[in-house]
Amino acid sequence: MGATVSALSTRAMSLSAMGAAGDAGRPRIKLGVASYSFHKFDRAHVIEFMKQLNLTHLNAKDVNDHLPMKPPEATDAAVAAYKAAGIELTAAGVIYFTSTDEADVTQKFEYAKRAGVSLIAGSPTREVLPVVDRVIKKYDIRLAIHNHGPEDKQWPSPLDILKVIGPLDKKIGLCIDVGHTERSGTDPVEAIHKAGARLYDVHIKDLADLKAKDSQVAVGDGKMPIRGIFEALHAIGYKGFVDLEYEIHEDDPLPGMIKSFAYMRGVLNGMGYES
């Protein structure tokens, strides 16, 4: 009997060790929400929707009263409300940088600092980028430049961003919007691999027509290579968030978002995902 117990115990320890070794190779993709998905709703609704989605990570934008930039007291009130609800602010944005005035750039970094986030999802013009490069050195905050597809004259594709940011401060990187990337004619999986360590944020969506902006559907109902995107993120050791940016059914986004997260969680579970 003692020998049997010992053998079982040894086997259990062996399996445990194998499991621990296997865990190191499992994807640990973190899902979140871009608050712009709820741009028709106020902060109280955002908090309630996050609870219904069973999510706690939010990339908040200065839209409606989600995360006001001014006055500072309004920023503080929003941060306190999210904290009380158990919601973690992972980033602020998308924030647009259109003025080369250093004071304007600085106040946007001060806003992110006040919000307690270490990442801005941003869209600076090419003219502003040198100013951003100077200002960012004063902050423990990264800037992830967001591409917006063919309509974006500055950054249609992540590859356009990569061509420019090489010599800039390493805190300047990319926020890859996979839908806009696909529409720009760039394979999002390829873009993720090329971005590598400079990829700081991901906005995810799905498209029924890979060239049509207005063809967005719930994730899993379209043609985007969702599993391939997750596999690429895992392959580069991505440690940021994958935020759903759901830009359709703006008056009733929750059903499609619930469906999207159910699909993404299913894909991740099938990959051996562990949160």
pLDDT tens profile 88-101: 999 999 999 999 99
Q: Which residue, among 250, 233, 261, 210, has the nearest Cα to 50 in the 3D structure?
A: 261
* pLDDT computed for residue 273 by the predictor: 78
Largest CA distance in the chain: 79
What is the spatial distance between Cα 126 and Cα 112, in angstroms, rounded to a whole number? 21
What is the spatial distance between Cα 234 and Cα 146, in angstroms, rounded to a whole number? 20
What average pLDDT does range 61-90 have in this prediction? 97
pLDDT digit string, tens, across residues 227-250: 999 999 999 999 999 999 999 999
Q: Which residue has the tokens 């990187």?
A: 173
For the chain, the distance separating the N- and C-terminal CA atoms, rounded to the nearest angstrom, is 39
- Tokens in use for 236? 């580069």
CB–CB of 154/164 below 8 Å?
A: no
What is the spatial distance between Cα 69 and Cα 107, in angstroms, rounded to a whole number? 9
More confident residue, 2 or 268: 268
CATH superfamily of 28-270: Divalent-metal-dependent TIM barrel enzymes (3.20.20.150)
Residue % of the chain over a pLDDT of 90: 88
- Tokens in use for 9? 């115990």
What average pLDDT does range 122-143 have in this prediction? 97
The length of the chain in residues reads 275
Report whether pLDDT(272) > 90: no
* pLDDT computed for residue 2 by the predictor: 40
